[in-house]
């Protein structure tokens, strides 16, 4: 079944107010304060200001997608260095993209972000699938507490997984994307590893069965990301249909 979404491009003059509203919904940058584990490192990884692009002009267009998304979404174009130029969602209806996509839209990337909005808007539906098909569960407080502080501090905060950032696969493995360099953190220099709840140890190697089910070579530390990559076609050839 195909769904249609109306994309409202925010005008530069309105963008800051829209971003403030979206921040009140998801607290994305609030989590980068020092009182939160990993907040300082994540803040330093985002050296450039998070600001709208002055090139953006109000516009509206429609796109089709194969997953349910509420009828309207707001697209804010950011300065090309904001969040290292990485597209992401904000709140439950906002998408942020670097300004270069204003001049040449990548519709696969747009569909990827719309999947993330669907995951936020239809959370129960997606989690029913993750549990039954992929054996993921949201991590419990005790499971999260067992992860050593050094790995939680190095975890990259992902705006597309804010509602359930810690997940467990097959009741044993918690995958995290962590900064490679602590002294000079970079959003584009992260690596995925696993906290093994059974052995109580960290490993960089994917557990048995992970690559056979999900493939490799893409950002896959969370079922939200795995699903979005499958749907936008960027998961690679090794995933199972």
157-181 tens-digit pLDDT: 999 999 999 999 999 999 999 999 9
pLDDT by residue (tens digit) across 175-222? 999 999 999 999 999 999 999 999 999 999 999 999 999 988 666 899
pLDDT by residue (tens digit) across 72-103? 999 999 999 999 999 999 999 999 999 999 99
Q: What is the pLDDT of residue 219?
A: 64
pLDDT of 43 higher than 70:
yes
Q: Phi/psi of residue 179, each to 5°?
A: -70, 135
Q: What is the pLDDT of residue 213?
A: 92
Percent of the chain having pLDDT more than 90? Answer: 92
pLDDT by residue (tens digit) across 106-129? 999 999 999 999 999 999 999 999
- Calculate helix-pair angle for 223-232, 123-134, nearest 10 degrees: 90
Structural domain boundaries of the chain?
A: 3-122, 124-232
Q: What is the pLDDT of residue 236?
A: 54
Q: Phi/psi of residue 169, each to 5°?
A: -105, 130
Name the β-bridge partners of 137. 168
- Calculate helix-pair angle for 123-134, 107-121, nearest 10 degrees: 100
């Amino acid at each position: 079944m195909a769904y249609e979404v109306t994309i409202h491009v925010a005008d530069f003059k309105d963008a800051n107010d829209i971003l403030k509203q979206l921040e009140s919904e998801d607290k994305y940058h609030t989590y980068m304060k020092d009182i939160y584990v990993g907040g300082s490192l994540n803040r330093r990884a985002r050296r450039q200001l998070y600001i709208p692009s002055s090139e953006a002009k109000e516009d509206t267009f429609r796109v089709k997608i194969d997953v349910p998304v509420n009828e309207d979404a707001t697209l804010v174009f950011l300065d090309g260095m904001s969040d290292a130029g990485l597209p992401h969602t904000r709140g439950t209806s906002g998408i942020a993209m670097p300004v270069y996509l204003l001049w040449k839209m990548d519709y696969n990337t747009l569909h990827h972000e719309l999947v993330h909005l669907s995951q936020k808007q239809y959370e129960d539906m997606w989690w029913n699938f993750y549990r039954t098909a992929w054996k993921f569960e949201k991590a419990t407080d005790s499971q999260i507490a067992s992860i050593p502080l050094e790995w939680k501090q190095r975890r990259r905060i992902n705006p597309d997984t804010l509602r359930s950032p810690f997940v467990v696969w097959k009741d044993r493995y918690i995958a995290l994307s962590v900064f490679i360099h602590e002294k000079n953190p970079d959003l584009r220099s992260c690596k995925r590893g696993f906290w093994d709840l059974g052995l109580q140890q960290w490993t960089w190697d994917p557990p048995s069965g992970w690559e056979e089910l999900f493939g490799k070579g893409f950002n896959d530390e969370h079922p939200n990301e795995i699903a979005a990559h499958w749907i936008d076609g960027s998961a690679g050839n090794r995933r199972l249909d």
